[in-house]
Amino acid sequence: MAVTGLLLVGFLYAHMIGNLKIFFGAETFDHYAHWLRTIGTPLLPEAWYLWIQRAVLTVAVLGHIVAATILARRARQARPVKYAHRPKVQGSYAARTMRWGGVIILLFVIYHILDLTTGTLNPNGVAGEAYANVAADFAPSRWYVTLFYTLSIVAVGFHLRHGLWSAVRTFGQQSPRGELYARATALVLSLVLVVGYLSVPFAVLVGLVD
Ligand code: HEM
């Protein structure tokens, strides 16, 4: 769970930092998207890096889901008899929404690929015009797309907050101070990611990127 999760967090951070290049203008952003497809060419085939990344991410996501299913089954087997009295509040909001949060993120990624990778659902949808595709996507008239992205990215933030904290728990029980650091680190890393991602659609919405 932790190994696949940390791999996905690595991608999320790299992708978020790459997205911030949009603030340097269309030429820089489109050049970056082009570079992703041409790293190492002509020695290596075009888009080799993207295809390796796609394969690694797919395996990581599948591994993550399989590990989550095994863990949930193990937890159920450890307590086959239902609790007679189940207290309403157990754990944080982030902890209680891991399963559905994960499903929302998966649905978002499918939409997102059809939107900004294949361009199928994008109003511009031209390969090589990454900047124009993003600008068209979050135009004020398409506020519902921005809303959907916002909800999905907030779901990513909650998922990550609990996931990162759980990953630290993998190394064992923490001292009260260690526990506090783990919680604070998970919160800060998730917040930075959410703000970084959301800055792009909101910059388009207010006309900073157009
Ligand atoms: C507002 C936030 C986001 C923006 C503006 C954005 C932008 C983009 C763009 C422009 C591409 C196409 C890149 C290219 O073809 O060169 C892309 C691809 C992708 N994004 Fe995002 N993204 C955002 C959030 C996310 C999030 C939260 C996730 C994961 C949960 C994600 C996962 C992906 C994946 C898996 C790809 C496909 C990469 C490939 O072609 O294999 N993105 N994104």
Residue-wise pLDDT for 189-210, tens only, equals 999 999 999 999 999 999 999 8
Number of other residues whose CB lies within 10 A of the CB of residue 84:
5
Q: What is the pLDDT of residue 90?
A: 58
Q: Is residue 105 part of a domain?
A: yes
Q: Is residue 86 part of a domain?
A: no
Q: Is residue 126 part of a domain?
A: yes
**Band of residue 91 on the pLDDT scale cut at 50, 70, 90:** low
Q: Is residue 87 part of a domain?
A: no
Q: Is residue 85 part of a domain?
A: no
Q: What is the pLDDT of residue 179?
A: 87
The two tokens of residue 26 are 């269309």
The H or E element containing residue 32 is helix 26-38
Domains identified in the chain, total number: 1
Give the position, in ligand 1's atom list, of the atom nearest the Cα of 108: 30
Number of other residues whose CB lies within 10 A of the CB of residue 122:
19
Render pLDDT for 133-174 as a digit per residue (tens, 0 to 9).
999 999 999 999 999 999 999 999 999 999 998 888 777 777
pTM, 2 dp: 0.92
- What is the b/e burial string over 46-74, where b = at least 16 CB atoms within 10 angstroms of the residue's CB? eeebeeeeeeeeeebbebbeeebeeeeee
Q: What is the pLDDT of residue 86?
A: 66
Q: Is residue 16 part of a domain?
A: yes
Residues with CB under 6 A from ligand 1: 15, 19, 33, 36, 50, 53-54, 57, 105, 109, 112-113, 116-117, 130, 134, 149, 153, 156, 197, 200-201
Q: 160-165: long-range contacts at Cβ-Cβ below 8 A with a sequence spacing of 24 or more?
A: 160/9, 160/12, 160/186, 160/189, 160/190, 160/193, 161/92, 161/94, 161/186, 161/187, 161/190, 162/92, 162/94, 162/95, 162/98, 162/186, 163/5, 163/9, 163/98, 164/5, 164/9, 164/189, 164/190
Q: What is the pLDDT of residue 56?
A: 98
Q: Taking all residues of the chain, what is their mean pLDDT, rounded to a whole number?
A: 92
Q: What is the pLDDT of residue 2?
A: 86
Q: How many angstroms separate the CA atoms of 34 and 49, rounded?
A: 12
Is the pLDDT at 89 greater than 60? The verdict is no
Residue 118's domain comprises 2-80+92-205
Is the pLDDT at 68 greater than 60? The verdict is yes
Best mutation site among 112, 126, 131, 154 for ligand 1 pocket (most ligand atoms within 8 Å of CB) = 112
Ligand 1 centre distance from Cα of residue 115 (Å): 9
Q: Is residue 210 part of a domain?
A: no
Q: How many angstroms separate the CA atoms of 105 and 93, rounded?
A: 16
- What is the b/e burial string over 156-189, where b = at least 16 CB atoms within 10 angstroms of the residue's CB? bbbbbbbbbbbbbeeeeeeeeeeeeebbeebbeb
Q: Is residue 56 part of a domain?
A: yes
Q: How many angstroms separate the CA atoms of 130 and 33, rounded?
A: 7
The two tokens of residue 130 are 């990454």
Ligand 1 centre distance from Cα of residue 97 (Å): 23
